[in-house]
Structure 1
Amino acid sequence: MNEEDRRFAVAAVQMVSGFAVEANLERADALIARAAAGGARLVALPEYFCLMGRRDTDKIDAAERPGRGPIQEFLAAQARRHGIWLLGGTLPLQSPDAGRIYNACLVFGPDGEVCMRYDKIHLFGFRREAESYDESATIRPGENAPPVFESPFGRVGLGICYDLRFPEFFRAQGDVRLMVLPAAFTYTTGSVHWEVLLRARAIENQCYVLASAQGGKHESGRRTWGHSMLIDPWGEILECLPEGEGVVAGVLEARRLEQVRESLPALRHRVM
């Protein structure tokens, strides 16, 4: 790893996406440009960055075929234009089920080519009083192997939103130096659980965690928690954006990661 890669700039984009795909892509364009202008070499968009619809079924109508469609073309062009690693939040891809889509995260290299695809495995279900969600009604769970790809900083692991609650999912990814989590956490669950779970994943895996979130009041009336953040391997929050659209940026330090792992070699102490 050369000196530049030992200090690797990253950014999480926070959005408050709405009903119109084209408008959401325009906002993402501006925010990606801001992150890249700030020096970020890896940029992560939030879950559902391209569409937060009136109804859960709206994403079925917007679903694209793998490798074809305006959303995928947009992401590829952004990665090429800025010469960055781009984690495309999530977008709806067609599945074998007529009434369900894959909630997919595509990772693009600086050449604009897809280097990894992950279809969300854990599907959120929640019911309390008048608030309820059932992702399995419109999303088909993925069947991917643990989602990991190689970056100049080292191995990067990936999860999407509800995956955050399953520590064994991330442990199965092996020794990663960065975990990235696009999300659209609800305000209700996020206000209590989001930061705790993100910091736990960083601490127990002794790696950086970059979380890119939806954060605000959407056109549908839904409210998401936001608090996109970058966390270091000791569990310290380096940067956070509580609400509204914007960019959370920071630099991953290889030396910092090595110091944490040397001083508290928990990963070597594992017996299971």
Structure 2
Amino acid sequence: MANSYFATGWRKYGWLAAGIALGLFGTNSEWSIPIAGWLFSIGLMRFTRSSRVLAGLACIGLSATATTVVYVAAAGQSGVLPILLGCLLLSLILSIPLLADRLLFQRLNPFLATLVFPAARVTVEFLVAAISPLGTIFGPLAATQSANLPLLQTVSVTGIYGLSFLMAWVAPVVNLALERRLHWPSIRTVALTYVSVLVLVLIGGGLRLAMAPTAPSLVRVAGISASLAAEGRMRQINNFHTPQVLPEQKPTLRKAFAVLNDDLFAHSRIEADAGAKIVAWPETAAVVLNEDFPDFLRTAQSLAKEKQIYLDMGIAVILDGQPHSRDIAVLVGPDGKLLSTFDKAHPVPGMESLRPGDGIVPVSETPYGRLANVICFDADFPSTLRTHADIMFVPANDWKGIERTHSANAVFRAVENGYSLVRQTSGGIAITVDAYGASLARTNYFSTTQQSMIVSVPTRGTWTVYGLVGDLFAWLCVTNVVGLTGLAIFRRIGHQG
């Protein structure tokens, strides 16, 4: 066996600097570079493995702080202290796998030692997504890979965590090779195993794409947002900001909201006349006082019945005497009947004061397949989106700074669950992808005065392993971490005995 070689002196700090620099672009931000997500952990691990535990902890803290500052700055939220502190805490938690690797890698055989970091990384990502109020919007390594279609197919089996595992596995494999001075006999098993798995994943993903059946039927969907002119006229009448409505404000607010809502109904008519069978609005596209909601709904039902369309509406309902409102998605059928109402289940922490819904996704059987609905941030929670549908509508409302990354994050949900996904958004990038993550349409709110996304969408989805077994892979990683930790402790006790 070749002698182990760890970085020393300036080389060690060079690896640390490289890891931190790449890490700035390795998270799912507007400034992300996909290849950086694969590489940044190599440098950080080279430093932690070559340093004492406390020095490694300092490295973790420095890297987490730098990554958080860049992520929050890219999102345009550097002045929001709760978001900055929350992301810093999550970044520190997501760095724990480096510490686990540092403590365990010398107490296990070379192959098992390479599994500690990727299994721990998946474990932490999974627990953060399940427990934290940010879901998968901040954390998963895989989030930077939404445009790599062959690789993306992995998530149809393992969820987003299988792709994160594959990306994290690079760091211990490369570090082992460097520590063994590229001595082939001592690294052959590990290197060939990793390369074989990566090649099989890419071949399998390519075959899945190549063998995807042609959609037997398509439906014309029109995603529309209110025009900038209508939004401007509404603000001229009343730039509504106060969360609590006073009685004397209602006539002016009602007039202002009517400008916006009438614009949406008018454009819905235009798209229906042009052949759209489903018209989708973004999140909180329409705004209505609670007492006016029944009349608003009757207008929507009359339009859907007159034009024989399915009308999927994102609506903000302002509640009387309460500091919060309802953020809902309403689906009306061509017979004028109300098919579903969904309240946003996951308000953005620190930014939205809403009455959250129960998270039970409504699915409506239609001639165009099973139509389902969630709202914006809900799509960052894999467990909420795990449902049997053919087309998932995600009305959204972003802002400049997250427009690319937030829409890309929703692509994973489509591939995980095997449905097409229509994400009409205001203040961001509207996208439609099929069940394999392939882009069908894409429009940018900031590049037009009237954002419309016209697209033909498959009316039938496909089955996925992930849809059947859920987060089984993530739980296997949790079990793996526990088992490897126990084995390392057992071996240490055995050596001491």
Tell me if TM exceeds 0.5: yes
The 5 Å alignment of 1:10-89 reads 10-15=221-226, 16=228, 18=231, 19=234, 20-51=256-287, 62-65=288-291, 68-69=294-295, 71-89=296-314
**Does residue 240 of structure 1 match 2:446?**
no
TM-score after normalising by structure 1 = 0.75
Residues 199 and 21 of structure 1: is their aligned pair in 2 closer, same or farther, counting only changes over 3 Å?
Answer: same
Return the structure number with greater helix share.
2
How far residue 232 of structure 1 moved from its aligned partner, in angstroms, is 1.1
Output the CA distance in 1 between the equivalents of 2:433 and 2:372. 14
The aligned amino acid for 1:146 is: V
Tell me which residue corresponds to 1:217.
none
Pairing of 1:189-268 with structure 2 (within 5 A): 189-191=402-404, 193-214=405-426, 224-225=427-428, 227-243=429-445, 244=448, 245-254=450-459, 257-258=461-462, 261=463, 267=467
Percent identity of the aligned residues?
Answer: 22
Match of 2:357 among 139, 142, 152: 142
Hey, which of these two has a bigger chunk of strand by percent? 1
Distance 1:144 1:235, change over 3 A: closer
- In 1, Cα distance between equivalents of 2:425 and 2:298: 22
Distance 1:176 1:184 in 2: 23
Structure 1, residues 205-252: CA drift from partner, whole Å, max 9, x if none? Answer: 1210011111xxxxxxxxx22x22211111111111112323212222
Q: SS in structure 2 opposite 1:23?
A: helix
SS at match of 2:398: coil
Q: TM-score, normalised by structure 2?
A: 0.43
**Pairwise CA distance, 1:153:** 2.2
Q: Which digits, 9 at most, give the CA deviation of each residue in 1:22-78, with x for residues without a partner?
A: 211232123212321232211111112124xxxxxxxxxx42248623x32332222
Whole-angstrom CA distance in 2 between matches of 1:268 and 1:164: 19
8 A contact 1:93–1:104 mirrored in 2: no
Matches within 5 A, 1:167-182: 167-171=382-386, 174-182=387-395
What do residues 52-109 of structure 1 show as CA deviations (whole Å, max 9, x unaligned)?
A: xxxxxxxxxx42248623x3233222211211111111231648x7332221221111
1:8 to 196, 219, 225: 219
Give a deviation string over 1:184-217, Cα, whole Å, max 9, x none. 11222223x2232121111111210011111xxx
Greater Rg by CA: 2
**Cα shift readout 1:123-168 (whole Å, capped 9, x = no counterpart):** 0135xxxxxxx212xx211235322222212222211111121111
**1: CA distance, partners of 2:383 / 2:444:** 28
**1:24–1:269: structure 2 CA closer, same or farther, 3 Å change rule?**
same
Which residue of structure 2 lines up, in the alignment, with residue 106 of structure 1? 330
Rounded Cα–Cα distance in structure 2 between residues aligned with 1:142 and 1:21: 24
In structure 2, C-alpha distance between the alignment counterparts of 1:21 and 1:30, rounded to whole Å? 14
For structure 1, the residue ranges without an aligned partner over 5 or more in a row are: 52-61, 127-133, 215-223
Alpha-carbon contact 2:317-2:325 (below 8 Å) kept = yes
**Aligned partners of 2:345 and 2:330: how far apart in 1?**
14
Query: What are the ranges of 5 or more consecutive residues in structure 2 without an aligned counterpart?
Result: 1-215, 235-255, 473-497
Measure, in 2, the Cα distance between the counterparts of 1:143 and 1:66: 24
